A and B are shown apart, each in its own frame.
Chain A
């Protein structure tokens, strides 16, 4: 049985874990002292060597991303933290920032120092007022403590940190759309190259990292590479937050070494809710192809999940039991992608509308077997034919659900509508409404 490894979440059970005092009580802001005594290139090398990979979905090596920033180029450099957490099922960065915003700030100071940035931004989604308050307060307290502003900790390094609050657009979690949004435009993805490391915010070299990636840096600096590498698997090092939601007895956050399995996590969560069995689940949000009961022993690391035909993504494990209609689930996710498509690329903008119409018909029992082929053909003309990965994400629930539950689509036609009772899936089914 894999042991849990609370690092980022180690003190969330303390009433003042989000304050600067609460953070410092457990060694907070010690790592930044250590990092600022090192050469910036050595900090980059250390993060690179640790094997830390992006925790926002793509899994790109964090230190390598930092090393792409050209040095000695006489241009401003920027660090931008992506706190736009909006991928359906994903719910790790918001509790992290609510309970411990200072670990992100400490990581940001270290990262900015390493890449020689004097301006850093947190782009946080706008629909989380209390999380915004906590981050705001933390930034203010860090300024007062001399950790931000001119001459950080008396080391001659200047850093301004600005909290930028979004306004409800999933697409802004895509890093180039995020940059356009931060520049004051509609959030639409840019064509790459050039990548943000060369021409990012205001066309200057920019690192965009996920909250959890940057928040993992202080622990690596403080405890060392060996400690970090003692957790995880060969190519997926360290600890990470797994989020279990849906039809489990006790949903919640579990910080564990990369490579833990869903079977192990389910055991910790008290199993699938009483009297039911798992039917399908997402390994890392709705954009990652779904799995079934046959996939419980896949190591949840970047390679393990990819080898099984999906992606680790944000480690958002959404669990659905046998009461859930997979067509309903796929349709609802598709409606989400339709709503959130930014409209820039035709295959995604138009295609998601067509997908929704076809899925509605299929759910209503008006679809035919031919329509399933047409649906897949449509998916084939959307994925990979747009600027960003939203289009790929949009077709993932459809293609994967058809792969495992093709007959359930057809059962809607035979039944003349959905054969499932939606109330049976609800959390309050036994309590009455």
Chain B
């Protein structure tokens, strides 16, 4: 499999965003994941040609960042936050529960290729703890049961919608395209802010802001 002419043109447009070509390496790696689901040898070589940097250097960058995967992940990549606050609030129990439920561990994928699991670090949503990310969309205030239901839905092709995100959950490859800086037209879907984000504002309005 090789990249299509259209895909190569998209890669050129990504390179053109930057004053210097090498800066495009990260969005190009996200783009490769949107095509293949992970960073392939072909992807590395094509990036190397596009930005005129040795393939070994592209690999060095790719392996530094945890979001770039060296092997395929699930169509729905489930990240359970196990950093201290989420872990204490229930993230540890959620991780154990969903790991047992799926029969897979950290960085593993179900045999049907539908769901993969990762222990993730703080995802900047602590006021919604415990937090789970699926394809890097927010699933707030989770419980072991809600996450078991979530992965069952994902395996049946009917995953729930993110708490703060688009109306329907997109696949890993589709969301990788967004992370390459390409618009999917879904920015207007979903809430402006969740309830905890608006709590101070609500109290200020009730009590009279200064």
Contacts and interface: CB of A to CB of B under 8 A. Distances in A.
A253 B66 contact: no
Contact of A127 (B136, B162, B208): B136
Contacts of A93: 124
Contacts of B66: 167-169
Interface in A214-238: 231
Interface residues on B, range: 35 or more
B145 A433 contact: yes
B60 A184 contact: no
Nearest to B180: A165
B200 A268 contact: yes
A425 B20 CA distance: 50
Which of A169, A243, A251 lies at the interface centre, i.e. has the most chain B CB atoms within 10 A of its CB? Answer: A251
A252 B184 contact: no
A208 interface: no
Interface in B178-202: 178-181, 183-184, 186-188, 190-202
B83 A88 contact: yes
Interface in A298-348: 316, 318, 320, 324, 328-329, 332-333, 336, 339-340, 342
Contacts of A6: 200-201, 204, 209
Contact of A428 (B90, B183, B195, B200): B90
A276 interface: no
A273 B65 CA distance: 37
A252 B198 contact: yes
Contacts of A339: 121
A163 B81 CA distance: 25
B193 A17 contact: yes
B68 interface: yes
Contact of B179 (A88, A165, A184, A426): A165
Given A183-B20, A426-B89, A133 B61 contact: no
Given A243-B127, A246-B129, A426-B89, A184 B61 contact: yes
Interface residues of A, number: 95
Contacts of B129: 245-246, 251, 427
B200 A129 contact: no
B141 A253 contact: no
A252 B66 CA distance: 28
A332 B188 contact: no
A129 B97 contact: no
A196 interface: no
Interface in B38-95: 51, 53, 60-61, 64-68, 79, 82-85, 87-90, 92-93
Given A127-B133, A129-B136, A427-B90, A245 B126 contact: yes
A367 to B, nearest CB: 19
B187 A137 contact: yes
A65 interface: no
Given A12-B198, A129-B165, A202-B19, A165 B183 contact: no
Given A163-B181, A320-B88, A426-B90, A13 B198 contact: yes
A423 interface: yes
Which of B27, B84, B88, B162 lies at the interface centre, i.e. has the most chain A CB atoms within 10 A of its CB? Answer: B84
Given A4-B207, A129-B165, A245-B127, A332 B178 contact: no
Contact of A99 (B26, B181, B192): B192
B122 interface: yes
Interface in A63-91: 76, 85-91
A19 interface: yes
Interface in A167-196: 167-170, 181-187
Contact of A14 (B26, B190, B192, B196): B192
Contacts of B198: 9, 12-13, 252-253
B120 interface: yes
A375 interface: no
A5 B84 contact: no
Interface string A77-119: 0000000011111110111001100000000000000000001
A166 to B, nearest CB: 7
26 contacts: A3-B209, A12-B198, A88-B126, A90-B126, A126-B136, A127-B79, A127-B136, A129-B179, A133-B187, A163-B181, A165-B26, A169-B65, A182-B23, A186-B61, A186-B64, A202-B19, A243-B127, A246-B126, A250-B199, A251-B127, A251-B128, A253-B196, A257-B210, A332-B82, A431-B143, A433-B93
In the A-B complex, list the 4 residue pairs whose CB atoms are closest, starting with the nearest. Answer: A252-B199, A167-B65, A184-B22, A137-B187
Interface of B: 17-20, 22-27, 29-30, 51, 53, 60-61, 64-68, 79, 82-85, 87-90, 92-93, 97, 120-130, 133, 135-138, 141, 143-145, 162, 164-166, 170, 175, 178-181, 183-184, 186-188, 190-204, 207-210
Given A184-B25, A426-B89, 11 more contacts: A15-B191, A88-B85, A89-B85, A91-B127, A126-B65, A202-B19, A252-B199, A253-B127, A268-B203, A318-B85, A332-B87
